[in-house]
Structure 1
Amino acid sequence: MKPKKLKLLLRAASALKANLTGGYLMKEKMKLIKGRFLRPVTRTGFLAAVLITGLLSAPYASAKDKKTLENEFELEAMTVTAQKQEENVQEVPVSMTVLSGNHIEDKNIDGLWDLMDHVPGLMNFDTGMSDMFSQPSMRGITAPSNTFNSSVGLYIDGVPILASPGFTAGLLDIERVEVLRGPQGTLYGKNSEAGVINIITRRPDNDMYGKVQISAGEDNKRLMTGSVSGPIAKDKLFFSLVGQYDEKDGFLENKNLGGHDDDRKRYYGRTQLRWTPSEKLDISLIASRLAADEGLSAQTPNAAMMARNGLSPLPEKTTYSDLRPYNDTYNDIQSLKITYDISDSMSLTSITARKVTDWKSAGDFDFTDSHIYHIYTDSQYSNLSQEIRFNWKSDRIKSIVGLYADEHMNDHLQGTIMTDDSRVPTTKRELGGDSYAVFGQIDYSLTQAIHVVTGLRYEMQNMDYDDDILNIDDEESWSKVTPKLSLQYRFSPHHNVYATVAEGYRTGGFNNTAVDLDYRTFEPETLWNYEIGIKASFLDNRIIVNASVYYMDISDMQVEEYVTPVTTYITNAAKATSKGGEIEISARLVKGLDLTAGFAYIDTTFDTFKDANGDYSGNKNPFAPEYTFNLGAIYRHSSGVYISSDLLGYGDTYIDKENNNKRGAYMIFNAKIGYEREKFDIYLYAENLFDKEYNAMNYYNYYNNYSPPREIGVQLAYRF
């Protein structure tokens, strides 16, 4: 045999052997881990395959080897649906962070609170309520907690969650999470003025897959998850089932009743049935429940609150409550998504969704055995929505036009628990209504390098308000047009810049305790966002750098205003500006090693704001950290060794409009080390390894909110 032919044959044999004996069974991690044995290969079978491959395909094998080597270092360009159509994330003129399902698993991200630590410019502050109620801050913009609205929209498989009740999600068996910064009102509508969190769960297909994972850690942490998916009828009908149980002891010690007042248990389940009767039609029915059985948040009164009640200060992280607190929350979501491909260039999508959050709670808010301030809540928040959109594309145009409608009802009951355990309602109100919207967006290629994206949305919001205690029966309507214009210039397939101008808004509402007609309602908050960004990759896609700077002009800002020295309502008394920027870097310069870094600078300041108690002009907006950052590394070796670490941090964050109290800057360090094989993984992990405290003292001038302690534990995973 000629030397050249022998050389090609040996090269082919090497390539084939790598293919037969290497790889990683988990489909999602095959591109990350090489060199795992899948199954034994007989000597006869191997030699036969070598001869066939060498004689017939040697030149192809040589090229394949080279391509495989390149792919070991190339970072994947993820496909996203941030603009409600499939696009390369590097070509979307929006500042956004995308976390894959693998990344979420690697980083032990169990919920939205953990997720936000890895997104520049996004933060969730513990307000002392259940974790099922979140008030995220994006680019320094957040909604006052008692509006029950949000400045950031949350979408789970297209289902909108636009208010703080039930603003949470189970992050199990996730395909990816897309976090969009800046107003997204054109495509997403109300309450997405600062950004959107878009969660896409994994769709079942012909591949049968299953996984079970168990974690155990400090403070009696127990986490069990399981998932299974696959075909019922090949190419036609598929299913998936996921479930999770999470339990952990608290650290807020009750000296009166014993135990801890902030213990928690959570349950999550989701099922999906997917039907593809033809190549053009795709139908998915999804149902999920996230239930929480929690105690009080890790919050106690400060010395001022105790003195106000004529009591002595409590020791740190301690209560003497005579009522065992509870927060029982159930978040149910059902959705039906239908996609029909009319042709290669046209598609029609319908998303019908129902979301219901039930909340029952009781708490001792004097935190002593004096029975001064015992409060209970029994509420339900529901939303029924329908969206229909039509997508069309050609060589130079990508367009979307759609209709949206929803109907919501919030029944809120709150009262006082008397000494004989009877319950006297103090608040009993219903807030209902509906909204309608029409929207459209066009991405037009002026040239191969220059793209213009323009969009417009008109939305009408109607609200009805009934208060049985105060005998109030009122209604209000608001309408809004939100435009968007982006100009994008692509220097090359790997480098582009964009400039965007967009308007966002957060809906208005009612002050539930107002008897003065001047303060019965508050108006929508609006802002204009001006943004410039760059998205670039270098060294054959081994390094990706995305950066943006922005300026936001905020009008009719919704704030808590003292209309008298002791009476507070939500009003539109403030005007503010927010400016800053974000940068994210991903790199894969060494085989098996992925590096990530993110940083956001945030400066959100009141231009004008004063009330009966003072003038706050020039002060920082509460819950707007000066900066956020995350540094991460993941290393996988072909032997199965796994190592990862994360350094996460936030800058100073004021917690009142007076800027008298703040949570100081802090950093926490997470780490994980393990061994991964074909069927199983085992890890040792640490969250907040150095037990850093980042407490928020004097929250609302009367409470101290304590940060969770370190957690060290082990994880076991088995795939089948």
Structure 2
Amino acid sequence: MKELIGALLIFSLSLGYGQEQNGSILKGRIVEKDSSNKEVHLERIGHHIPEIIVTADKKEAVAQETMLSLNVLDSRQIDEFKVWDIADLGALVPNLYAANPGDLRNVVSIRGISTTSYDPAVATYIDGVNQFSLDSYISQLNDVERIEVLRGPQGTLYGRNASGGVINIITKQPDNQMRGYIQMDYGSYNLQRYTAGIKLPLVADKLYFGAANMFSSRDGFFFNEFTSSSYDDVKLSQGNYFLKYQPSERWSLLLNVKHQLQLNDGAFPLVMGVDEAFQNPFKLSQNNNTTMRDRTLNFSLSAQYRHDSFVMNTQTSYQENYRFYKESIDGDFSDFDIISVVNNYGKDWNRNKVWMHETRFSSPARADSRTRWNTGIYGFVQDSPVKQGTHYGKDADMYGSPISNFTDVGINKLNSAGLAGFGQVDYQLLPSLTLTAGLRYDYEHKKLRIEGHFVPDEGEAMVTRTDTSASAHYSNFSPKLALGYRFSNAHRVYAMYNRGFRAGGISPLSSDPSEKALSPYESEHSDNFEIGSKNMFMDRKLKLNVTVFYTQMKNGQIPVLVMPEALTLMRNSGRLTSKGAELELSAIPFKGLELDGSFGYTDAEYKDLTIVENGENKDYSGNSPVFTPRTTGSLLARYTHYLSSGTDSRLVGGISYKNIGTQYFDMANNIRQDTYDLWNARIAYHYRHIELAVWGENLANQRYIDYAYDFGAVHLGGPRRYGLTAKVTF
């Protein structure tokens, strides 16, 4: 490990004394000076690696100039490499892994810090709005301008649940230029995906409108032998609407509405055991078949005011998610009537609602200023009433139940609220040396009310646990300190310490009497130290970024899975260390060929981990955390060939390769997936505003586990697929 880190740093820094670049870069365009000292903007598509303006640090900056471990995918990469879901970012970003068991709610891990409950460890933001929890989560991507992934804790500016990092998604927004697109995709498993969008000014320089919509459907990858039909058929619809008003040069207002509806006929295509998954791939036998209806709404109102001495940004947002199974869903993943899960108790239940607000003041961007500052307040209110029943059918004796044909109902009503204040300052100590310091204070209060019922089939409900409640509060400081040095416009190094945290909570009511309900658990903290080097070479034809990091997680929230309802309870008992290295590479070896690659190495293990299982203490110290590949690697290659000079007729071919290293899916490290490779390819014909493409995914038809539960239920990653794309832009 030491040799690897040393080699990467020495190689990067030894190249760091290159020549200054003659031009600066702004939003993908080269800015140079002509003989009269006037700026001349030259589009150099295919000649240079464009620099991208990002807002990862909650201020506009060139990505290569930020003192952060940061990956950026632009709209072209997102479209051409078919990044349709947040899970598709796995391995494209070094040390990032993402997957779900079939319900499209991704578990995301960065550098060994992974989501183990409905409170994520990696925060996701879409157009500035925090996707508060997996209950208010939009994973499907459409009409996206760019995706910024911040690796490592980001508690100072982003607050709660960013202990592993942040995924910052920015969709395309309207301006004075009218533009739009229509796209149709068809593929294996009867895939149909239709997307369309339009952006236009309603009143020039004053009022703008934008809309993007998506509808998709496909047959399931899995076949249910019990019903002789496909199991996980999915239909999705999504909309994203903007209305922007600029009453003056100083003021702007933006109203945004997002919605998503998922209808999933078999949300959890799982089988029991690794052997069963690989011996009979994509086959299962479940007797309870239902449709999961998952609807998410997201409203936000943002305002910006630009003063000569400050910039004010405010955003108020509301999220709501209503998710239920129309009939009970299989809980034993077999064709026996043992256990099923019920949660269709009406709109008063399983409807998560969150209000959030943030106001920030920041310094205006001035070339002559040595100081840039950013400060603000944040608050939220959450209401999450959950009612879920576990039904024991006629075969319940196979599970050890002395009685059958009844439902054990648990009610957990969570109300929480939080308030935070934060600030960050960038100060230029010397022309080439910058110091960044920041601090955030968070306070949260939670109250949980529980109640239990026993409901015999066709009988009256009996209260087994009366309405009882508990409260808890949490506070947290999240500091940040960084020092950056610029050798030249093309070469920089930085060293940074920052902290992230995942909020604490209260254990809900479960069917296991040994697991005490209403027990509070504390916040989880992760402290991160890293050194990074960012470099451009060969007149911006080669980019090389290297990072080494050491992260220590304290007071870790360890999941305790309670069966049969598959309810996750949290305990504080883990201390984890994670160290590793990351490399990002982009190159244009010659005109027409573009390469993007990444490599991530994570050495993560629990230094202190004891879990109670079946009344016994199990020492899992030395084990690896879940959803954490030892290595990740990717290579994206794109070649453009113009069919005739002076025209926009061209062929574009692309191939992507991913390598995901060995990882585990349970705390005991018994469920293991060895290293595997994934190959995707795409070739497209472009003529003016028309694009026609063919594509393939998992071309080698690799069989691999992408998700598994502690109790042994296993989900396979998608099989080989092919498709066609037709797109018209205007």
**TM-score range relative to shorter protein:** 0.7 to 0.9
Match of 1:99 in 2: 73
Give 3-state SS (helix, strand or coil) of 2:77's partner: helix
Q: Kindly tell me: are residues 154 and 59 of structure 1, through their superposed partners in 2, closer, same or farther at Cα, counting changes over 3 Å?
A: closer
Structure 2 residue identity aligned to 1:130 = D
Q: For residues 28-56 of structure 1, give each alpha carbon's deviation from its aligned partner in whole angstroms, at most 9, with x where no partner exists.
A: 9999xxxxxxxxxxxxxxxxxxxxxxxxx
Give 3-state SS (helix, strand or coil) of 1:446's partner: strand
- Structure 1 vs Structure 2 CA RMSD: 2.8
Match of 1:523 in 2: 522
Match of 2:311 in 1: 347
Superposed, which structure 2 residues align to 1:127-276 within 5 Å? 128=101, 130-131=103-104, 133-144=105-116, 147-276=117-246
Match of 1:648 in 2: 658
Of 489, 499, 509, which residue of structure 2 is paired with 1:513? 509
Q: Is the 8 A contact 2:546 2:581 kept in 1?
A: yes
* 1:584 equivalent in alignment to 2:555: no
Give 3-state SS (helix, strand or coil) of 1:165's partner: helix
**C-alpha distance in 2, partners of 1:686/1:417?**
42
**C-alpha distance in 2, partners of 1:606/1:392?**
42
Q: Is the 8 A contact 2:28 2:52 kept in 1?
A: no
Q: Kindly tell me: are residues 696 and 449 of structure 1, through their superposed partners in 2, closer, same or farther at Cα, counting changes over 3 Å?
A: closer
Q: Is the 8 A contact 1:273 1:284 kept in 2?
A: yes
**C-alpha distance in 1, partners of 2:189/2:294?**
22
Q: For residues 210-267 of structure 1, give each alpha carbon's deviation from its aligned partner in whole angstroms, at most 9, with x where no partner exists.
A: 2101111111011110011111111111111111111111122122222111111111
**C-alpha distance in 1, partners of 2:494/2:64?**
11
Superposed, which structure 2 residues align to 1:526-545 within 5 Å? 526-545=525-544
**C-alpha distance in 1, partners of 2:582/2:195?**
34
Offset, 1:489: 0.5
Identify the range of structure 1 (468-477 vs 418-427) with the bigger mean alpha-carbon deviation.
418-427
**C-alpha distance in 2, partners of 1:631/1:78?**
20
Offset, 1:592: 2.1
Match of 1:684 in 2: 694
Q: Is the 8 A contact 2:469 2:518 kept in 1?
A: no
Query: Aligned pair count?
Result: 651
Of 310, 317, 321, which residue of structure 2 is paired with 1:357? 321
Q: For residues 571-619 of structure 1, give each alpha carbon's deviation from its aligned partner in whole angstroms, at most 9, with x where no partner exists.
A: 1111110111211011123112211001110111010112334211111
Match of 1:75 in 2: 49
- Name which one, 1 or 2, has greater alpha-carbon Rg: 1
Q: Is the 8 A contact 1:682 1:715 kept in 2?
A: yes
Of 326, 329, 332, which residue of structure 1 is paired with 2:297? 332
TM (norm. structure 2) is: 0.85
Structure 1 residue identity aligned to 2:113 = I
Of 492, 496, 503, which residue of structure 2 is paired with 1:496? 492
Match of 2:247 in 1: 277
Of 336, 339, 343, which residue of structure 2 is paired with 1:373? 339
Structure 2 residue identity aligned to 1:223 = R
Q: For residues 307-352 of structure 1, give each alpha carbon's deviation from its aligned partner in whole angstroms, at most 9, with x where no partner exists.
A: xxxxxx9955333333213221111111111111112x52100011
Q: Kindly tell me: are residues 304 and 240 of structure 1, through their superposed partners in 2, closer, same or farther at Cα, counting changes over 3 Å?
A: closer
Give 3-state SS (helix, strand or coil) of 1:348's partner: strand
**C-alpha distance in 1, partners of 2:685/2:329?**
44
Give 3-state SS (helix, strand or coil) of 2:120's partner: strand
* 1:443 equivalent in alignment to 2:426: yes
Identify the range of structure 1 (321-330 vs 419-428) with the bigger mean alpha-carbon deviation.
419-428
Identify the range of structure 1 (166-175 vs 500-509) with the bigger mean alpha-carbon deviation.
166-175
* Alignment gaps of 5+ in structure 1: 1-27, 32-57, 307-312
* 1:452 equivalent in alignment to 2:435: yes
Q: Is the 8 A contact 1:299 1:703 kept in 2?
A: no
Identify the range of structure 1 (652-661 vs 677-686) with the bigger mean alpha-carbon deviation.
652-661
Structure 2 residue identity aligned to 1:466 = R
Superposed, which structure 2 residues align to 1:704-715 within 5 Å? 704-715=714-725
Match of 1:415 in 2: 389
**C-alpha distance in 1, partners of 2:727/2:657?**
25
**C-alpha distance in 2, partners of 1:391/1:423?**
58
Q: For residues 66-119 of structure 1, give each alpha carbon's deviation from its aligned partner in whole angstroms, at most 9, with x where no partner exists.
A: x85966412111111111111111111110101111211111111211133421
Offset, 1:547: 1.3
**Identity of matched residues, %:** 29
**C-alpha distance in 2, partners of 1:568/1:231?**
48
TM (norm. structure 1) is: 0.86
**C-alpha distance in 2, partners of 1:648/1:304?**
23
Structure 2 residue identity aligned to 1:544 = K
**C-alpha distance in 1, partners of 2:448/2:494?**
43
Q: Is the 8 A contact 1:136 1:142 kept in 2?
A: yes
Q: Kindly tell me: are residues 519 and 72 of structure 1, through their superposed partners in 2, closer, same or farther at Cα, counting changes over 3 Å?
A: same
Match of 2:641 in 1: 637
Q: Kindly tell me: are residues 212 and 570 of structure 1, through their superposed partners in 2, closer, same or farther at Cα, counting changes over 3 Å?
A: same
Structure 2 residue identity aligned to 1:371 = D
Q: Kindly tell me: are residues 474 and 518 of structure 1, through their superposed partners in 2, closer, same or farther at Cα, counting changes over 3 Å?
A: closer
Q: Kindly tell me: are residues 622 and 130 of structure 1, through their superposed partners in 2, closer, same or farther at Cα, counting changes over 3 Å?
A: same
Q: Is the 8 A contact 1:29 1:102 kept in 2?
A: no
Of 625, 628, 636, which residue of structure 1 is paired with 2:629? 625
Q: Is the 8 A contact 2:470 2:518 kept in 1?
A: no
Offset, 1:417: 4.5
**C-alpha distance in 1, partners of 2:90/2:297?**
22
Match of 2:397 in 1: none
Match of 1:24 in 2: none
Q: Is the 8 A contact 1:231 1:237 kept in 2?
A: yes
* 1:388 equivalent in alignment to 2:359: yes
Offset, 1:472: 2.5
**C-alpha distance in 1, partners of 2:641/2:256?**
37
Q: Kindly tell me: are residues 291 and 29 of structure 1, through their superposed partners in 2, closer, same or farther at Cα, counting changes over 3 Å?
A: farther
Q: Kindly tell me: are residues 99 and 442 of structure 1, through their superposed partners in 2, closer, same or farther at Cα, counting changes over 3 Å?
A: same
* Alignment gaps of 5+ in structure 2: 1-26, 345-349, 395-403, 453-464, 644-649
Q: For residues 255-299 of structure 1, give each alpha carbon's deviation from its aligned partner in whole angstroms, at most 9, with x where no partner exists.
A: 222211111111111111111111111111000111111133463
Bigger helix share: 1
Q: Is the 8 A contact 2:507 2:517 kept in 1?
A: no
